[in-house]
Amino acid sequence: MSLLKIDGICKSFGGLKAVDNISFEVKEGNIHALIGPNGAGKTTLVNMISGIYSVDSGEIYFNDEKITNVPTHKLVNKHIMRTFQNLEICENMTVMENILLGFNINMNKSLLKCSFQFESILDDEEKFTHIALSHLKRVGIEEHAYSLCSDLSYGILKKVEIVRALAINPKLLLLDEPVAGLNGTETAEIAVIIKEIAAQGVTVLLIEHDMKMIMNISDNITVVNFGVKLAEGIPSEIASNPEVIKAYLGEGSLHE
C-alpha cells in the first residue's frame, strides 16, 4: 500500500526548473531513499511534500488524501514529521524542551490554563517528560536531557531533531540528510535508529548522500538528477544502473 504518492510535481525558481515532473510512490513501512547529486532537487522535493514550498503543478497524496500545498504545521496533525538538512533546533532551549515541543499537538496549550498552571498542564508536562526521557535513552543521549542545545555537539543535535520528530509516533518521517557532517560511528548509530524506527511501522523517506548507509538500510531507492527522475528500484538494481553511475561519477567511469 503506498502511503505517499508523488504525482507529476514541478517547481521552478525564476527561470530554473528545480523539479520537473517527478512521480514516485513510497510503500507503507518502507525505508525509501531519495538520492542524487547535489542540486538535483531532492530537498526541494521534500520541502514541497512537507509544505514549506508551494507546488507549481502536480499532486501529492498521503493515504490517498490530497495534501498538495497543505502548510507544514497542518501536516503534523496527519502525523507527517520531518528533520532538516540545516538542523532546525532551538539553540536557546534545552534538549528536553526541544523534545517536548515535539509533543506539541498532543498537549494542552491554552494560554489561560498555562498562566494559571492548571493541573492538566502540569500533568501533561510530567507525562511527556517521562516519554521523552525514554526516547532519549533509546538513542543514548539521556544524559544531555537538561543541557542547553547551544552547548552540545552537532552529532548530538542531529539525534535530538530525530527524537523530536518521533515524539508523536508519526506515520511518515521525512529525513533530510540525517547523517550529513557526522563521522563513521555517529552515522552507524543513526542508521541503526532509522532501522528500528521502520521496524516499528514508521514509513521513512530518506534523503542522503552516504551510499553505504543507503544501500544498507533502504528498501527502495528513487534517483533524481537535474530535477528529473533518473531511476527507481531496489538497492542492487540502482547500484548497477549505468545512468545512476554516470550521474554520480561522470561519463568516464562507465568505461572503466
Partner 1 sequence: MVELLQYSFGGLTVGFIYALVGLGFTVIYNSSKIINFSQGEFVMIGGMAAVFLSYADFPFILAFPMAIMLASLLGYVLFKLVSISSNSSVTSLIILTLGYSIFIRGTAQVGFDKQMHTLPSFIGDTPISIFGATITPQAILVIGVSLFIVFALYFIFNKTKLGKAMLATADNKSAAKLVGISVKRILIMNFMIAASIASIGGIVLTPITSMNYEIGVMLGLKGFCAAIIGGIGNPFGAVLGGVILGILESFVAGYISSEYKDAVAFIVLLLILFFFPGGLFGSKKSSRV
Partner 2 sequence: MKNKGLFLDRGIVTTIVILCVVPFILQNSFHYEIAIMCMLNAVICIGLNMLVGYTGQISLGHGAFAGLGAYVAVILSTTYEFDPVISILVASVVLAVIAYFISKPILKLEGHYLAMGTLAVGIIISIVLTNEDQLTGGPDGMGVSGFHILGYVFESDIQWYVLSALLLVFSIWALQNVVNSPFGRILRCIRDSETAAKAIGADVPYYKTYVFVISVVIATVAGSLYSYYTGYISPEESGFMRSIELIVMIVFGGLGRIYGAVIGAIIITALPQFLTFLHDYEHMVFGAIIIFVMIFMPKGLVSIFDTLQVKKKKEITKDNS
Q: Which of 2, 7, 17, 52 is the binder for partner 1 (CB under 8 A)?
A: 52
In whole angstroms, the minimum distance from the beta carbon of 114 to partner 2 comes to: 4
60 contact partners, CB below 8 Å, separation of at least 6:
4, 5, 6, 7, 9, 48, 49, 66, 67, 68
| 47 contact choice in partner 2, partner 1, none (CB below 5 to 8 Å, kind-dependent) | partner 1
- Closest approach, Cβ 152 to partner 2, in A, equals 14
Distance (Å, whole) CA 9 – CA 122: 45
Q: How far is the CB of 215 from partner 1 (least distance, A)?
A: 28
C-alpha cell at 171: 506515520
The SS3 of residue 180 is coil
Q: How far apart are CA 117 and CA 10, in angstroms?
A: 48
Q: Which is nearer to partner 1, 85 or 147 (CB)?
A: 85
C-alpha of 245 from chain center:
25
Cell of 232: 527507481
**What is the smallest separation between the CB atom of 171 and partner 2, expressed in angstroms?**
14
> What is the x/- site pattern for partner 2, positions 142-161, by CB under 8 A?
----x---------------
Binder of partner 1 out of 16, 64, 65, 86 (CB under 8 A): 86
**Which range binds partner 2 by CB under 8 A, 30-38, 61-69, 109-117, 240-248?**
109-117
Q: Which does 63 bind (CB under 5 to 8 A by kind): partner 1, partner 2, none?
A: none
115 lines the binding site for partner 2 (CB under 8 A): yes
